[in-house]
Amino acid sequence: MKISTALVKALNDQIAMEANASYAYLSAASWCEITGYDGSAAFFYTQAEEEHLHMLKFVNFLNGQGSGATIPAVKQPPKTYKSLEEICKTALTNEQGVTKSINHMVDLAQKDKDHNSFTFLQFFVNEQIEEEQKFENVLQKFNLLGRDKLAIYEIDKLLAGMAITPVTESKN
């Protein structure tokens, strides 16, 4: 079954969203690294890799369905941040935007009765539940522990423990 024009556009838009997310996390990791937040740097480098893998999944899916992926230009992410908490708040907002985009594509696939695309997108539905929850939990730690140097140090250690390389994700 051929993917509808509207869904192909949405999938290609998602490639751009994943690419921009990867670069935003890379920029956050870089800032954390030069600021001395080694655990947070490791965490955000891992997040950047994960978003890159997600982008590739969309590229591979579109190409495999004969629709052809469009490789986007990437927006320049910020170079500096006010705080680690600001990065996490921005990440949560961005992940919520990705969730909205994924849900829109699921709606299109259901409307089109496109079972292949619907099945492909289920991975991302589940992934977004985890991503939003992850950043909500980290932000909760700022409220529990505070924002002083010792609290930030503890949150940095927490993020270091969450830095798991996403190698276990399958290609499709």
Q: Is residue 9 a contact partner of residue 107, using CB atoms and an 8 Å limit?
A: no
Say if residue 172's pLDDT is above 60: no
CA 138 to CA 117: how far, in whole Å?
Answer: 32
* Residue count of the chain: 172
Say if residue 170's pLDDT is above 90: no
What confidence tens digit (pLDDT) does each residue in 73-99 have? 999 999 999 999 999 999 999 999 999
Q: What does the pLDDT read at residue 165?
A: 61
Interior CA angle at 141 toward 139 and 144, to 5°? 125
Tell me how far the alpha carbon of residue 172 is from its chain's centroid: 16
Interior CA angle at 22 toward 93 and 170, to 5°? 105
What confidence tens digit (pLDDT) does each residue in 24-79 have? 999 999 999 999 999 999 999 999 999 999 999 999 999 999 999 999 999 999 99
Q: What is the pTM of this model?
A: 0.93
94-98-101-105 Cα dihedral, nearest 10 degrees:
170
What confidence tens digit (pLDDT) does each residue in 105-115 have? 999 999 999 99
Q: What does the pLDDT read at residue 168?
A: 46
Residue whose pair of structure tokens reads 């499709």 in the numeric block? 172
In this structure, which topology does domain 5-167 adopt according to CATH?
A: Ferritin (1.20.1260)
CA 119 to CA 138: how far, in whole Å?
Answer: 30
CA 163 to CA 30: how far, in whole Å?
Answer: 15
Averaged pLDDT, 4-29: 98
Closest C-alpha among 2, 3, 10 to residue 104: 10
| Residue ranges per structural domain of the chain | 5-167
What confidence tens digit (pLDDT) does each residue in 131-144 have? 999 999 999 999 99
Q: What does the pLDDT read at residue 164?
A: 79
